[in-house]
Amino acid sequence: MDWRVPLADVNLGPEELEAVSAVIRSGWLTMGSVTQAFEQEYAQSTGSLHALAVTNATAALHLACLALGIGPGDEVILPSLTFVASANAIGYTGAMPVFADIESPDWLCLSPRAVEAAITEKTKAIMVVHYAGYACDMPAILEIARQHKLSVIEDAAHAVGASLDGKALGTWGSVGCFSFFGNKNLTTAEGGMLVTDDPEIAEKVRILRSHGMTTLTWDRFKGHASTYDVVAQGYNYRMDELRSALGREQLKRIPAGNARRGELLNLYRELLRQEVPSIRVPFAEERGQSSYHIMPVLLPSGADKHAFMEQMKQQGIQTSWHYPPVHRFSVYKEAYASRPNPLPVTDEVAQREVTLPLYPTMTDEQVGWVVESVVSALQ
């Protein structure tokens, strides 16, 4: 469909084209020096000691769980208001995802109080999700984790460039995982990054992401090794040079891109407050520095969300839903039924949440068109 205003758009230029072309001209396409440079630059941007590039954020979450020793019989607490990959990554290890509620309709992140209520003797870790690029209450979460001797995994898929108290999101817990999917603030089409300050975790991930091998093809090509051992049943979760080249250029765009997203969000808030005061915009009182990844709004109670989205579509405005709650999906209903923690806030938000377009190349005029369409769709 030819959208008047799409939900998201990529911000690519000649710099990305030249970087990818340079990799093609080099003749080396799989993980090598460009990926190593991307990892170093990403680690520096987050203040992390280690950054490891992988195929996607799901792989990063899976590797994080494995490196922390999560497995059959364990439980990991996470929000249901997230993309299903968060829960899937836990399930891949044989562990059980345990869903806990979010804070409130004004802050759509995991509730520390709900986390504490969900802890059992089987709990091994807490997986927070920095929804839309806004920070979870990390000091409270970390204190709970300390008291119960739990690991903390940060699903920072939305949070490239975001921070809390001057510390990058993704670096508060044991491991942080970022997404570079095609609609993310930093895109490599598909891709992800895992960051940690723990050298033991970093080494486990380094081994597991490449078939459990002790050296890479790049090491042998450069003459740094002539053979390898396989020390674990690993995975093919490596990032290639083409995506890494793209990522290095995209990383340079994050400060300006995120700042522009923030400007657009503030314009949305102002116009929606004037034109549609019945619309609720979460995260009004900002906690830390967001990446402003998406623009979630809550429709008035009782509004027909699907009819609203169809009306927006008819006016050429693309919208979405972040997210259908994971505990309502068929594959997780049975698991949730065995641990039925009440999730009233999650269920309410899921019924009302609609995501409006937001991307750095969006114009102020386009924001105005979207708000005009919102007014019309609610009449």
Q: Where in the chain is the domain with CATH 3.40.640.10?
A: 14-251
pLDDT mean over 14-42: 97
List the beta bridge partners of residue 112.
Answer: none
pLDDT (tens digit per residue) in 186-230: 999 999 999 999 999 999 999 999 999 987 776 766 667 778 889
Could you give the CA distance from residue 373 to residue 3 in angstroms, rounded to a whole number?
13
Residues serving a catalytic function are: 184
pLDDT of residue 226: 73
2-6, 193-197, 263-267, 284-288: segment of lowest average pLDDT: 284-288
What is the end-to-end Cα distance of the chain in Å, rounded?
A: 24
pLDDT of residue 214: 85
pLDDT mean over 305-333: 96
Residue 45 has pLDDT above 90, yes or no: yes
Q: Using alpha carbons, list the distances in angstroms from residue 231 to 57, 210, 240, 300, 346.
A: 24, 11, 23, 55, 42
pLDDT mean over 340-344: 86
Residue 7 has pLDDT above 70, yes or no: yes
Q: Model pTM?
A: 0.96
pLDDT of residue 215: 78
Structure tokens at 325: 């709650």
pLDDT mean over 33-47: 98
256-270, 294-308, 336-350: segment of lowest average pLDDT: 336-350
Could you give the CA distance from residue 51 to residue 68 in angstroms, rounded to a whole number?
16
The rounded percent of the chain whose pLDDT value lies above 90 is 92
pLDDT of residue 218: 66
Please state the three-class secondary structure of 283-348 as a single string.
Answer: CCCCCCECCCCCEEEECCCCCCHHHHHHHHHHCCECCECCCCCHHHCHHHHHHHHHCCCCCHHHHH
Superfamily of domain 254-377: Aspartate Aminotransferase, domain 1 (3.90.1150.10)
Residue 338 has pLDDT above 80, yes or no: no
14-251 topology per CATH: Aspartate Aminotransferase; domain 2 (3.40.640)
Q: Where in the chain is the domain with CATH 3.90.1150.10?
A: 254-377
pLDDT (tens digit per residue) in 122-170: 999 999 999 999 999 999 999 999 999 999 999 999 999 999 999 999 9
Residue 256 has pLDDT above 70, yes or no: yes
52-66, 227-241, 346-360, 364-378: segment of lowest average pLDDT: 227-241
